[in-house]
Structure 1
Amino acid sequence: MSSPETKEKVASYITHDYASSLESGKPVKFVYSPEERKLVRRINWTVMPLVCGILFVQFIDKSTLNYAAVMGIYEDTHITQDQFSWLGSIFYVGYLAFQIPNQYFLQRLPMSKYLGSILTVWGVCLACMALGKNFEQLAGLRFLLGFWEASTYPCIFLLISTLYRRQEQVVWFSTMFICNAAATSIGGLIGYGIRSMHGARGISAWQCCDNNSCEILMILNTNPLPFLTTVIIWGVVTFALGIAFFFFLADKPKSRWFRLTPEEELIVDDRLRDNTVVQNKDINMDHIFEAFKDPRFYCYLGISFLVNLQNGAVTIFSSQIISQMGFSDLDSILLNIPYGVAIGILLAFTTYASKRYDEIGYVAAVMGFITFLGALLLAVIPYGGAKLAGLYLSASSPIYVMLQTSISNNVTGYTKKIFYTGGNLVAYCIGNFVGPLMMVEHTAPRYIGGLSGYMAADILAIILFLYVRWSLNRENKRREKLRKEGQIPPPAANREELDLTDKQDMNFVYRP
């Protein structure tokens, strides 16, 4: 229990004027005290190395199919390009299958124990998977991979929403996808090295690359190092990260791993008032019913589905698209490195613009237009290196970061926030499932039909985001008017403990 002297001391350096935010009807930019900056640094160094590590490993594992496309997987397994598209899509069937149980476990179990256990099982599966020799076996392996990975994003989205102020969250959501971009670049380097081993000991390069399909018997052969570095090592790394998550992840704002002083606990209380996340194990069905009645919920689902059509296709087809521009198989893999760098630059720009202008909706619209421009260049440039510009601009990660930031910033109530995040991931799965199937084999190498569909989807996503922004801004103005008329009582003293939704809490100010 904090003393009155401690509370008075903390109040002197909590400079966030919440009352000003209510009076203006707009979020007030927060000014950090030195004490809170020190606390935030400790939170960052305690939590984010683990988070970034697993996101990096997960994306490398998931994207190995992209490199396998130019490493002999077609010839060795006799699959067609349409079946290859299904291999990209089937991952998200497994991902989707686990979303409903994940919603339940995420609220009922401690996040560190839950996610840590999942990661250890996932790591064992990676290390023990046998070689897929045909489409059916590869499809089964891809399904299992998606099934176990399905818990990762929802857990980390919720963790960031719980630990960070609303204006801080965009940085870490962007960082999540910058880890993916780094995995794309580094995965390209690894893939380049592995591709040069093609034919060694009678094994195709894709068999070395694909973490899901390396034959265990081959690992037992002499000179096993290449195989250990592709399958066993990644499986062991994932397993080790699972152990670290289980025991060391700080999954609560007042976790013992933060070593909070009484003064810092009061700063955490103020941070909780800002992000309005109240952790509890009770599933509140009223929050779910409220979500179903909210038009913005369906807008968020629509945006997630639409932007991930293009994401699902580009993630597994980028190497083939580059190869069809006239580059060699080795160069096709190597040119994924600047693709990852381009995604990182776009994400950094997105983060800067959102933080600099305290804006979500307009930044999302701009990034959606850039994604549209990328698909347009891929469609209209018939051949040659200039087409790479279209590929490098076509990443949908920036607009997706803005989508999750909007959900995290503007949805309160613990069950409601989990439900919105889960709905977002369901739409994410469906979009990534459908997207590769739009790359029909007989339309290669330009894929005009699929790219036209992606462009239309990008425009619709921009329109939906602008509607969400208008809707949030309109509600802020309505609440501001009601406050000035005295129709809204001041916030309760224990507001952060009541687990109110953004609709129930009329003092809540949206961030459009």
Structure 2
Amino acid sequence: MLALSWGTTGASDRALYRKIDARILPLMFAAYFLQFLDKVLINYANIMGLQEDLGMHGQQFSWLATAFFIAYSVAEFPQGWLLQKFPPATVLGVNVFLWGVLVSSTAACRNYASLVAVRTLLGVFEAVITPALILITSQWYTRRESTPRFGLWYCGLGAGQIIGGLVSFAAQHGPRGTSLSGWRIMFVAVGLFNLIIAVLILLLLPNAPETTSWLSEAEKIRIRERLALDQAGTGRKVFRATALVEALFDTHVWVLFVLTILIVIPSGVVTTFSATLIRGFGYDPKAAALLNIPSGAVSIIATLGCTYAILIEFPRWLGIVLLMVPTLIGAGLMSFYEGGKAGVLAGIYLINFVVAPLALVYALAGVNTQGYTKKIAVNAVVAIGFGIANIIGPQTFLSWEAPGYISAKITIFAVNGAVIIVAIMLRLLYGWRNRRRINERQAELDALSSGRIDIRALEKLEGEDTDMRNKAFVYVY
């Protein structure tokens, strides 16, 4: 039996995880920040003359967003295969490099067809981001610890909104209608930054605790012990067809899938079209870019608040439900308020609370799934839900309804209410599974809670069993 070695005090563990946090979280944050910034750049380019420069018309801009997310969804399982076959940090770094090349290449587009081609390929490479970051986070942290870390790298979304607004504002001071239009300069600058971060990820982000040069052997053992006792981690990196089949027929996976779609439809609409909506209130492009910055601040505050609440045992499902309250108020103001610009603008800011629940969904997908193969499959399904929602969302923006876009606003209002219902269903499902499991295997749960259990046996169990087959596994919600 592997005894619980050094690190039995909380102080030792805190020192260890401060070191881990400082080395891996900034890189994961940067990766998520860049993939979101790459998506939102098209939003800002739209108010900087993109459509006029490339001769776009009608629904073509909406289809631009749709093409990206069709490719994003289709590429999830190939990217999952790469994560199964190769080290996850390496797969992430290579993809970040490739999408950086494509972001820079956007500046060379001269017509709608070339832009669609670039955005489609961009969707293929960015499809890796969510499965890779969920997998990497699960390799290091217990289930209680992982949710705040999901929140930290997920704040890259809000940072992308803020920095994107500032980049757009700066780029709009450049020339327009020429080969060096402001939006072209913006894509080149951001693309080059992508390449720098990709190199840093490839050089500095560890592929696993066991292969990390800046950890001592005792520290590596301690990480293994903590993950095994918590029934967390990713398990052994082996492909198991039975785990893949189980993932595709597991009810909780598909509830998470539906929940992701419902959350992301309004989230995607706002992040892709918020600057366009603000400009529709009569603001010029520079003002629209700056006025969209508070949306990012709201996203960050909501995300940090809901994910750090998990450390004081606040229920994850209830966090999702409560975040829908300001979102619904915001949707109502944005859709139906007729008292002036200020109220509608406040609605756009409030609706950004809907961004935060997705961090909790990512956390639930990570902590309530056991086994390497099943984790990859579940992460891919959730990411496909993200892509499908972003396919649906832009198509609710009908060009002939500009600048009011009433169909999009009504859709946002409706799906926000549906999120509450599905979140409650998910909580009931997890509660039912736990009650059944406790009744079946109380003895195993007692042994686990006492700490009198063979760590190697737990690691073997974690590597070979899934959450459905491991009767000692307890779902968190």
TM (norm. structure 1) is 0.85
**Matched AA of 2:104:** A
Partner of 1:39: 16
Partner of 1:104: 81
Partner of 1:371: 327
Structure 2 distance, partners of 1:94, 1:422, is 13
Do structure 1's residue 64 and structure 2's residue 41 form an aligned pair?
yes
Out of 196, 201, 205, the position equivalent to 1:245 is: 201
Equivalent residues of 2:102, 2:118 under 8 A apart: no
TM-fit CA distance, 1:401? 0.8
Do structure 1's residue 451 and structure 2's residue 409 form an aligned pair?
yes
Structure 1 distance, partners of 2:4, 2:311, is 30
Structure 2 distance, partners of 1:61, 1:252, is 27
**Matched AA of 1:77:** L
Distance 1:374 1:280, change over 3 A: same
Partner of 1:341: 297
Structure 1 distance, partners of 2:179, 2:7, is 69
Structure 2 distance, partners of 1:323, 1:130, is 23
Partner-residue secondary structure (3-state), 2:206: coil
Out of 214, 219, 229, the position equivalent to 1:273 is: 229
Partner of 2:472: 507
Partner of 1:78: 55
Give 1:76-225 correspondences, 5 Å limit. 76-129=53-106, 131-199=108-176, 203-209=180-186, 211=187
TM-fit CA distance, 1:130? 5.2
User: What value does the CA root-mean-square deviation take over the aligned residues?
Assistant: 2.3
**Matched AA of 1:260:** S
Structure 2 distance, partners of 1:306, 1:483, is 35
1:295-342 deviations in Å (ceiling 9; x for gaps): 212111111112111122212211111111222221101111111111
1:6-45 deviations in Å (ceiling 9; x for gaps): x3653853xxxxxxxxxxxxxxxxxxx1110011011111
Equivalent residues of 1:372, 1:455 under 8 A apart: yes
Structure 1 distance, partners of 2:467, 2:194, is 37
Distance 1:126 1:263, change over 3 A: closer
TM-fit CA distance, 1:488? 7.7
Out of 281, 294, 317, the position equivalent to 1:361 is: 317
Do structure 1's residue 283 and structure 2's residue 217 form an aligned pair?
no
Partner-residue secondary structure (3-state), 1:142: helix
Structure 2 distance, partners of 1:186, 1:470, is 39
1:460-490 deviations in Å (ceiling 9; x for gaps): 2221111111111122222223345x59895
Partner of 1:222: none
Distance 1:456 1:57, change over 3 A: same
Distance 1:490 1:286, change over 3 A: farther
Equivalent residues of 2:25, 2:152 under 8 A apart: no
TM-fit CA distance, 1:205? 2.7
Deviates more, 1:249-258 or 1:61-70: 249-258
- Structure (1 or 2) with the larger CA radius of gyration: 1
Partner-residue secondary structure (3-state), 2:315: coil
Structure 1 distance, partners of 2:262, 2:421, is 11
Out of 336, 341, 346, the position equivalent to 1:389 is: 346
TM-fit CA distance, 1:128? 4.1
TM-fit CA distance, 1:414? 1.5
TM-fit CA distance, 1:98? 1.6
Which blocks of at least 5 consecutive residues in structure 1 are unaligned? 14-32, 212-230
Q: How many residues of Structure 1 are paired with residues of Structure 2 in the alignment?
A: 467
Do structure 1's residue 311 and structure 2's residue 276 form an aligned pair?
no
Equivalent residues of 2:140, 2:209 under 8 A apart: yes
**Matched AA of 2:412:** Y
**Matched AA of 2:124:** F
Distance 1:42 1:100, change over 3 A: same
Distance 1:328 1:169, change over 3 A: same
Distance 1:42 1:324, change over 3 A: same
Structure 2 distance, partners of 1:410, 1:11, is 26
Do structure 1's residue 411 and structure 2's residue 369 form an aligned pair?
yes
Partner-residue secondary structure (3-state), 1:495: helix
1:198-257 deviations in Å (ceiling 9; x for gaps): 438674333333x1xxxxxxxxxxxxxxxxxxx1x4333322322222232112133323
Equivalent residues of 1:95, 1:429 under 8 A apart: yes
**Matched AA of 1:10:** W
Equivalent residues of 1:10, 1:267 under 8 A apart: no
Equivalent residues of 1:94, 1:146 under 8 A apart: yes
Structure 1 distance, partners of 2:166, 2:412, is 29
TM-fit CA distance, 1:81? 4.6
Partner of 1:439: 397
Partner of 1:217: none
Partner-residue secondary structure (3-state), 2:110: coil
Equivalent residues of 1:354, 1:363 under 8 A apart: no
Which blocks of at least 5 consecutive residues in structure 2 are unaligned? none
Out of 387, 395, 410, the position equivalent to 1:429 is: 387
TM-fit CA distance, 1:136? 1.7
1:485-511 deviations in Å (ceiling 9; x for gaps): x59895663112222211111111211
1:121-157 deviations in Å (ceiling 9; x for gaps): 3333333455223222221111111111111221111
Structure 2 distance, partners of 1:358, 1:112, is 31
Partner-residue secondary structure (3-state), 1:325: coil
TM (norm. structure 2) is 0.91
**Matched AA of 1:100:** F
Partner of 1:24: none
Distance 1:305 1:12, change over 3 A: closer
TM-fit CA distance, 1:348? 2.0
Structure 2 distance, partners of 1:278, 1:170, is 15
1:350-381 deviations in Å (ceiling 9; x for gaps): 12333323311111111133323322211112
Structure 2 distance, partners of 1:432, 1:279, is 32
Equivalent residues of 2:209, 2:220 under 8 A apart: no
Q: Percent of pairs identical after alignment? A: 27
Distance 1:192 1:267, change over 3 A: closer
